[in-house]
């Protein structure tokens, strides 16, 4: 059976908390977050063809990360960017046959794609360094965590630490408030000072702790969800019971309405009969005849 992986709502691929208040926006109006509100995936974006042709943007012919140069360059060079609030696509992850699942076969291509993007943006005077560094750090951690062999990990490590990769990607010591994600400060500190083995151990420990925290949060959310489900179930039961009771009361009310209508009709008939009797000669004669007895009785 084909491995379809796990379905992920595409809304996760646009971080609304990192969007500016004013939309449309661009690198010039939002320089520190221009690359941090979305992923480098092209499938949740639409591009104006004339803009792509004018900037001569293209996908790189590499195995992994071939969309990095195209998307990140487009985000930095675009004069107007807007966002659609409704999620229109759905993404599947953790497929064993995906490019990410086989990243170890060419571990350096994504890193080089980021280097090419940085170099091109600098030449075009459109390089948002802070946003770029924060974006790359998230991508780097994702790449390192998904390298399934030690050989591939060491190849990436040597590129970063021994072949000038960190300088090529503007990775250097920065204050804590420089980072969009707080714990990326610790990642950079360890990357600068650890050995390959120590950094791998740190990354493993970090991933484990994050998984435990996420699992605990998920467990808490599930409990809250179950409580809410029980409340909904109870409300539905009450609504059903109330609906049945309301239906019975509606029937009773309908009967009462019918009785009231009948009584009104009967009363109208009696009023009509009384009026007719009052206007009749026999009633008038009877009133005269019975006047004296009624007077005496009083």
Q: Tell me the pLDDT tens digit for each residue of 30-58.
A: 999 999 999 888 888 999 999 999 999 99
Q: Please choose, from the candidates 150, 136, 66, the residue with its C-alpha nearest in 3D space to the C-alpha of residue 100.
A: 66
Task: Reply yes or no on whether the pLDDT at 267 is more than 90.
Answer: no
Residue 118 has what pLDDT?
96
Tell me what the mean pLDDT of segment 156-176 comes to: 94
Residue 135 has what pLDDT?
94
Tell me what the mean pLDDT of segment 92-116 comes to: 75
pTM over 0.85: no
**What is the band of 2 on the pLDDT scale with cuts at 50, 70, 90?**
very low
Spell 159-198 as b/e; 16+ CB within 10 A means b: bbbeeebbebbbbeebeeeebbeeebbebbeebeebebee
Query: What is the domain partition of the chain in residue ranges?
Result: 6-193
Whether a cis peptide bond, with omega within 30° of 0, leads into 24 is yes
Report the Cα 225 to chain-centroid distance in Å: 17
Helix (H) or strand (E) holding 90: strand 90-93
CB 243 within 8 A of CB 249: no
Task: Reply yes or no on whether the pLDDT at 21 is more than 90.
Answer: no
Token pair for 289: 């005849």
Helix (H) or strand (E) holding 8: strand 6-9
Could you tell me how many residues make up the chain? 298
Task: Reply yes or no on whether the pLDDT at 158 is more than 80.
Answer: yes
Q: Using only C-alpha atoms, what is the Rg of the chain?
A: 39
Task: Write out 30-80 in H/E/C secondary structure.
Answer: CCCCCCCCECCCCCCCCCCHHHHHHHCCCCCCCCCCCCHHHHHHHHHHCCC
Query: Over the stretch 128-143, which tens digit does the pLDDT of each residue have?
Result: 999 999 999 999 998 8
Residue 1 has what pLDDT?
42
Range with the poorest average pLDDT among 104-113, 143-152, 185-194, 237-246: 237-246
Q: Running DSSP on this structure, what letter comes out for residue 7?
A: E
């Amino acid at each position: 059976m084909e491995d379809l992986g796990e379905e992920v709502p595409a809304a996760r691929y646009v971080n609304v908390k990192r969007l500016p208040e004013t939309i449309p926006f661009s690198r010039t109006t939002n320089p520190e977050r221009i690359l941090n509100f979305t992923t480098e995936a092209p499938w949740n974006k639409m591009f104006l063809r004339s803009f792509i042709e004018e900037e001569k943007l293209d996908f790189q012919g590499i195995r992994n990360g071939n969309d990095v140069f195209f998307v990140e360059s487009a985000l930095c060079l675009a004069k107007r960017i807007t966002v659609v609030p409704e999620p229109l696509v759905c993404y599947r992850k953790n497929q064993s046959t995906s490019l990410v699942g086989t990243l170890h076969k060419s571990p350096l291509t994504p890193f080089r794609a980021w280097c090419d993007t940085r170099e091109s943006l600098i030449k075009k005077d459109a390089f948002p360094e802070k946003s770029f560094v924060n974006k790359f750090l998230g991508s780097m951690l994702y790449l390192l965590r998904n390298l399934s062999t030690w050989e591939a990990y060491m190849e990436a490590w040597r590129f970063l630490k021994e072949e000038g990769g960190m300088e090529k990607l503007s990775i250097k010591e920065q204050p804590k408030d420089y980072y969009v994600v707080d714990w990326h400060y610790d990642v950079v500190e360890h990357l600068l000072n650890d050995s390959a083995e120590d950094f791998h151990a740190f990354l493993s420990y970090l991933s484990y702790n994050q998984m435990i925290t996420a699992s605990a949060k998920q467990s808490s959310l599930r409990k809250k969800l179950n409580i809410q489900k029980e409340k909904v179930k109870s409300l539905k039961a009450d609504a059903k019971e109330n609906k049945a009771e309301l239906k019975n009361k509606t029937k009773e009310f309908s009967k009462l309405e019918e009785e009231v209508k009948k009584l009104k009709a009967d009363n109208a008939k009696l009023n009509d009969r009384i009026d007719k009797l009052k206007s009749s000669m026999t009633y008038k004669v009877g009133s005269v005849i019975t006047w004296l007895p009624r007077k005496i009785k009083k």
